[in-house]
Each structure stands twice: as structure tokens, then as C-alpha cells.
Structure 1
Amino acid sequence: MRIAGIAALAAAAALASPGQAAPAKRDDALWRAAVNARADQIALLQQIVDIDSGTGDVDGGRKVAAILAPRLQALGMTVETVPAEAPGLPDNLVARLQGKGRGRILMIAHLDTVFGPGTVAKRPFRIDQARAYGPGVADEKGGVVQGLQAIRLLRERGFTDFKSITFLIESSEERGSPGTRALIARLLAEADVELNLEPGDPPDMLTVWRKGSTTFHIAVKGRAAHAGVAPQDGRNAAVELIHQIEANDVFPKSGPGLTANLTVMRAGTRHNIIPEDAEAQINVRVREKADFEKVEQTYRANAAKPRTPDATVAVTRESAYPPLPSNAATEALADQAQAIYAGLGLTLGRGGNGGASESALAADAGVPALDGLGPVGGGFHSDAEYLELGTLTPRLYLLTKLMMELGANPPPRMK
């Protein structure tokens, strides 16, 4: 690992739990296997990053799955293609492996990104001495590859001290998993623990809490008219939408708690027509579930009082990820992970962020969950997205060792 990377990892010490367990002894054979997996990890990462697979890109999602499924089958896993639960989405992959032990482990990763068709052609996968770049390289194709490689290391070792390992690679996480909700619920009912392969935050962090997320749609119906001949006959939906946005602008845009941010606006069809329709989308993140209702009540109250005569305003809400709250079960898993990492002479921090994930669904179902187990990255949802290459090997070791420990000794369900 490069010197700068070690310094960055060490900087996380202040963020670690003060009561973390003593370092676990390093498994030298597993460490060597993780080191030796690096070249294949990077090669597979390049292969799937260089395929556009933004949410809703059915063809791109199928291409990524077509690369992953044979590799999972070659590891002795039973691979099932599960149709998406919403239209216009690729199928999901569910790979299963049976063992001889007690723990039922569910790993979740997602192959969809936030980037549209043609992104790869503009900025394909590339690496420098420290980082890998490309659309979805960390969020979350790096985690997909890490999950597959961890299973490979277990198979090469002949490790079977688990009851089952289920690896869900889903295709619609970036929209709140509309194509996977029922599937996730079924898999959680069969799991003792959920390990989520979202990227770790810099410098080297686990995610032990997350905000919940939903998007509110505000749609205005006005009346079209000629903008030059008879504008007075029109009812301008765009103007009313602006009024609604201003009235609703009462919540913070950043910070540790509730945030609400305007992300999409649409209005009008021609330069000489008063807009009949206008729509906005506002993305809301919360630490407390009740805040979703607080926002909705505000938006609906304002919708009932349009300032434009004869205009109507409708408010709808997408299905939401609940928050992943701070909880004892997740903290205990984080303690376990920190002890494993300390055996490598490294310090693993813990924290949280506003990015939602499936781990919140796990905790909501009473299944202990640990998030942010993928390689460390940053610049998510932007052209600056990157993955820290120096974390590939220690994070692969961590995930594999954690699966070994949880397979042998699964945690109790949450109360």
C-alpha cells in the first residue's frame, strides 16, 4: 500500500469507536490470497465499468449480468435471474451457495449507476497510481467485484462453515430499488445478517447509519394559450410551479438531519405557448421517518392554495428507503470489522451519510446490517467519481474474514 494511503487510513483513528475490540490475529494465508486477487479484481472491474448500465438501461444491465453470472456459476453458486418488479428495468441476479454451518449471510450490491448511455465512451475506465476512475467505478461496481472475489477466496480455501451465502446483485438501487423490494424482503426473511457493498467513505470508513430517501413530485396543470395573441387566456403552470417551490422552500438543503433539494424541473413545449403543464422533483433525505410526513404535509398544504387562478397542483411521493438508524446490532458488527482490520495494522472508522441503501430495509426487518463494506471511493454521482486502489486488498480481506466469522457465529436478530 502506498505511503499516502497508509497516512490517510491512519487519520481515521479518531473516528473509530473508543471501545472497539482488540485486534484479531492476521490470517496470513487469506491475506496472500487477497493480494493475489488484485489483478483479477482490477481486470473485472474495468470490464464491467466499461459498460453503460444506468438505472433503466435494460441492455446495459443485461450485459453486465452476462459477465457476472458465469463467474458466479464457476464458483459453484446457483444463479437465478429474477425479473424486475417494475417495468423498464433489467433483471436481478441472485447467487446462492450452501455450506455446512449456521450463519445465513446476505450480501447486496447493485450494478446500476446514475449515468446515461454514452458516458463510457466519454470517460472510460482508467487508473493512475492511486485511483481508478469511470462511471460507477465505486458506486457500486467496485463492491460487486469485491463480493464476487470474496466468494472466490472462500471457495479456494474450501471454507464451508456457513449455512448459506446469498449474493443479490440488483438493478435499480439508484431509484430506491423499485424493481427489487419484494425480492429483498424475501431474502431478508432467510438471512441472519446483511452485508452491503456500498463504497466506504474516505479516508477508510464503515457506514453505520444512513438517511432515508424519497422524491416528491409536484405537478401543476394550467391552461395553454397563445403567448402573443391571448396570453390573458392562459394559466401559466410554470409560474405556479415557481410559487409552489418558493412556498415549499422551508427545509434545510444540507446538514445532518432533514434536507430537501430541488433536482428536476420541466415546463413548456414551445416558445410561443403559455405552459399548460409543469413539474418539479424534490429529493428529501431524513434521519427520522416522521420527517417524511412533515414534508408531505407542508407540500400538500401549499398545493391546496395555488396562487394562479384555475391552476391545480398535485403532490405525489415515490416509495422511500427508510433511514438506517444508529443501533446496537450494527455497532456490534462494526466492532467485529474493526478488530479484523486492526489485525492488518489498519484503523477502520465509522460514520454515516445521506446516501440511502438496502441496509435500511434490513434493519427495518430486524436483520443486523453493516454497510459501506466496498472499496473506498468518492466523487459519487459525478464525473469525478473515483475508487481508492489502495483499499482493494484490505477491504477484500475484511469482507472475506467477516463472512467467515459470521458464517460460524451469526448475530442474533435485532429487537
Structure 2
Amino acid sequence: MNLSAYQTELDWITSQQQAMLHATSELALINSGSMNVQGIERVGDRLLQYSAPLDAEQKRIDLPPLEEINDRGELHNRSVGAAIRLRKHPQAERQILLCGHMDTVFAPDSPFQELTWLDANRLNGPGVTDMKGGLVIMIHALIALERSALAGKLGWTLIFNPDEEIGSPCSDILITDAAKHAQLGLVFEPALPDGSFAGERKGSGNFTLVMRGRAAHAGRDIGSGRNAIRALCDFISALDNLNGQREGVTINPARFNGGGPLNQVPDLAVARFNVRTRKKEDEHWIQQQLNALSAEINARDGLSLRIHGGFSRPPKQLTPAAHELAALLAECGSALDIPVHWSATGGCCDGNNIAAQGIPVIDTLGAEGGCIHSSEEFLIVDSLNRRARLTALLLFSLAEGQLDYQLWPQLTSR
């Protein structure tokens, strides 16, 4: 691959290292934990400012509310905030979808709110790697494309969503619809801890259990009560015992609420769990197990169990088209002397849902770092420049048609 045609734009990215670091730091200092709508809106405002040089169509899109079960077992709605969509060159023959999320796992009351330099090339802070650094990388790579002579040869849609860390329950419709009008997807989740890219990903589902029993006086009439906590513990124990029974399927009971006064038999308990799957058919197996376990509980006198939720992230498996896209990225990495390696992961992201629409996707083009989802999260600072140049070269290559045209199916055929 001859870099001379792209050198001006690649050099421009190199010159933007401090600006990229500054933007990442600004974003990380704005708390945008999932459900912190005000903070997410502030991050969106900054992203629109950073994206202004793209001169793209910009639109804030209100999302449907999140339906969730509260700790009283009641269904209620909450706002997750708005998504932002940028579009340019909709008439271009080649169309791609780029995605990044504005939310983090750190709530407004989290003690982890500051930036700390660990050494000259590692910055500790909330969301610096997952994925505020990735947002900045994506924007700068696109600006480099639009500064080049290739501008207009590649149409693109960019979506910033506010709810990825809770499974994109409200933005998934927006993202999957955009994927139906694209020929490939690029997502800017962070690199895996060793710097590699995610290949296959497990699928995921989130579930809530609501167990109702019968209250009674714990001293005078305990025999007429039906203890919802005990019954739900029985269910969760049986559920956890499913681990190891099917290859690649894992179940994580994660949260439990219930009970009240110590002299009252509890009549309500709520629990939440996550399931990871390796194949699509694993979802059917899990549903069969849940049906059998719940039937046993519901057959007991005075007890009622309801299961809410389901699978929102299908497993991502590598297709021939995905291998072609990966090979092109490796070629770009070789030209820039940037190693490109691939690993399977149990984690999931919006890339799972994009791949499920039948298009290839690379979903770890974001920053390098480690310890994400913890107060030890850190960014490898020089990866901002490195990953932006790699993404830009991939965009240049796509715009020039260097990918096998068999990868670009007619959009009308889907």
C-alpha cells in the first residue's frame, strides 16, 4: 500500500495529538453515566462542536423511553437521553455506518470523576478509554477523510448513542435501521487489553425475575406465609447450576432485592441476571431451561414468578466478508507499522447488532488502554494518534474501492 497519496492527511492527524488528548480529557470530565441525561446531553454538545469541521447534516433524535422493572417489581419508564446522527454524501455508491456511545458505567455519585496521570503515556480517568477516546478518534479520522481528495466517494452515517452500557435498549432500532442502509460498520469500542481487535463476540441477554409470595406474621403465623426470598433463592440456585451444562453459555446472577421487617414473611423478591451465549441457538436452550425452572416454582402453592427481559445482543460470528474487511485493516496496519491482531471475546457491543444485519463490522477501532469499567481505567495516550491514523487509512482505502467489490452488496437486495 502506497502511503504517499494520503501522507498530507496522515500528517495532519499526527499534528492533532494534543487536540485529541484535550478533547478526550474534556469529555471524560463530564459525567455521562447511563441514565444521567443531563451529562449525556453535555457530552453530545461537545461532540457536535468537535464534529463541526465535517460540515455534515446533524440531528438529535429522541429515543423511546427505557422500560424497566423497579425493585418493587413494577414496570416504569425512564428517559435515556437523545442520540445524535450525522450524515454526509448519502448519494455515494459506498455507504458505511460508524457508531460510538456517549454513556459510561460511572454514575453521578461515583467517586471516580477525576483525571490522573499514571506516567507519561497513561492517563487514568472515567471513560477515557471506554469510549471517549474512541469518539475523538472517530471524529478525527472522518475529518481527515473529508479534508482529502477522496471526500464524497464514501458516504457515511455516524451515530452517537446514549445507552450502550445498558445494552442499547432504546437506540438499537436506530442503529439497526442505519445498518440496513450501509455496507459495513465501524464501531469505536476500545481495543482489547493486549491491544488486539475483537473478532467473534458472545451474545448477551438481561433478565429480571419478580417473585411474589404471601406475607404473614413471622412469629404468630409463619406457616401461612409464602417466603418470596426463599423461593427466589431456590430458582437462582438452580439457574446458576446451568453454568457448565452447555459449551460457551454462562449465567451471572448479579443483583437481588427483597424483604422488609424481620418479623414479616417477605412477599416480594426481585433479582436480575445476565446470560452470555456463543451461538444463536443457545438462546432457545436458555429459554427452555427458564420455562422449566419457572414452571416448578409456579406449581408451588401461593407463589408466582414472572420473568422479564430477553436477549438484546446476538452472538457475532465472522463471515467471509468480515474476514475480507479484517484483511484490509491488517494491510493498513502493516503500511503504518501498526500491529493488527484479532481475538475472540465474551464482551458484546453495538457491533453484535450491526453484524446481525448481515454486514461486516470492525468494532474495536477505539483507544488502547485497560481496566475499563473500574476506577483503574486508563488510556494509552499515544494510541489516540495511532488509532486515528489507522482508521483514516482504512477509510481512504474503502473510498478508493480497494476492498473486493463482492463485499459491497446492492443495498436494494437487503
* TM-score, scaled relative to structure 2: 0.88
1:393 maps to 385
- CA drift of 1:254 comes to 12
AA partner of residue 33 (structure 1): W
2:230 maps to 239
1:353 maps to 345
CA contact (8 A) 1:240 1:308 kept: no
CA contact (8 A) 2:31 2:113 kept: no
CA contact (8 A) 2:131 2:367 kept: no
- CA drift of 1:99 comes to 7.6
Cα distance in structure 2, aligned partners of 1:403 and 1:332: 15
Cα distance in structure 2, aligned partners of 1:244 and 1:302: 7
- 168, 178, 203: which one aligns with 1:177: 168
AA partner of residue 124 (structure 1): E
- 95, 101, 104: which one aligns with 1:110: 101
Residue 141 of structure 1 aligns to a residue whose secondary structure is: helix
1:260 maps to 251
Residues 109, 61 of structure 1: CA spacing in aligned structure 2 closer, same or farther, 3 A cutoff? same
Cα distance in structure 1, aligned partners of 2:105 and 2:400: 37
CA contact (8 A) 1:263 1:281 kept: yes
Residues 248, 113 of structure 1: CA spacing in aligned structure 2 closer, same or farther, 3 A cutoff? same
**2:114 equivalent to 1:124:** yes
CA deviations 1:87-144 (Å, max 9, x no partner) are 411100001122885321210111111221133x543123332322222221221211
CA contact (8 A) 1:101 1:160 kept: no
CA contact (8 A) 1:235 1:311 kept: yes
Structure 1: runs of 5 or more not aligned: 1-22
Cα distance in structure 2, aligned partners of 1:141 and 1:308: 50
CA contact (8 A) 1:237 1:277 kept: yes
CA deviations 1:221-256 (Å, max 9, x no partner) are 111223334322321111111100111123337998
CA contact (8 A) 1:214 1:284 kept: yes
The count of corresponding residues between Structure 1 and Structure 2 is 392
Q: Which sits farther off after the overlay, 361-370 or 24-33?
A: 24-33
Cα distance in structure 2, aligned partners of 1:228 and 1:102: 75
Residues 289, 100 of structure 1: CA spacing in aligned structure 2 closer, same or farther, 3 A cutoff? closer
Residue 394 of structure 1 aligns to a residue whose secondary structure is: helix
1:251 maps to 242
Regions of 4+ moved over 4 Å:
23-27, 253-256
- 265, 281, 290: which one aligns with 1:274: 265
Residue 382 of structure 1 aligns to a residue whose secondary structure is: coil
Residues 198, 335 of structure 1: CA spacing in aligned structure 2 closer, same or farther, 3 A cutoff? same
Q: Which sits farther off after the overlay, 192-201 or 27-36?
A: 27-36
1:42 maps to 21
Alignment of 1:12-411 (within 5 A): 25=3, 27-86=6-65, 87-98=78-89, 101-119=92-110, 122-127=112-117, 128-252=119-243, 257-306=248-297, 309-409=301-401, 411=407
CA deviations 1:128-176 (Å, max 9, x no partner) are 3232222222122121111111122223335414241211001111222
Residue 241 of structure 1 aligns to a residue whose secondary structure is: helix
CA contact (8 A) 2:150 2:399 kept: no
Give identity over the alignment, percent. Answer: 27
Residue 374 of structure 1 aligns to a residue whose secondary structure is: coil
Residues 218, 99 of structure 1: CA spacing in aligned structure 2 closer, same or farther, 3 A cutoff? closer
CA root-mean-square deviation? 2.3
CA deviations 1:282-312 (Å, max 9, x no partner) are 1111110111121121122111112863212
1:412 maps to 408
Cα distance in structure 1, aligned partners of 2:113 and 2:220: 48
* TM-score, scaled relative to structure 1: 0.88
Residues 132, 37 of structure 1: CA spacing in aligned structure 2 closer, same or farther, 3 A cutoff? same
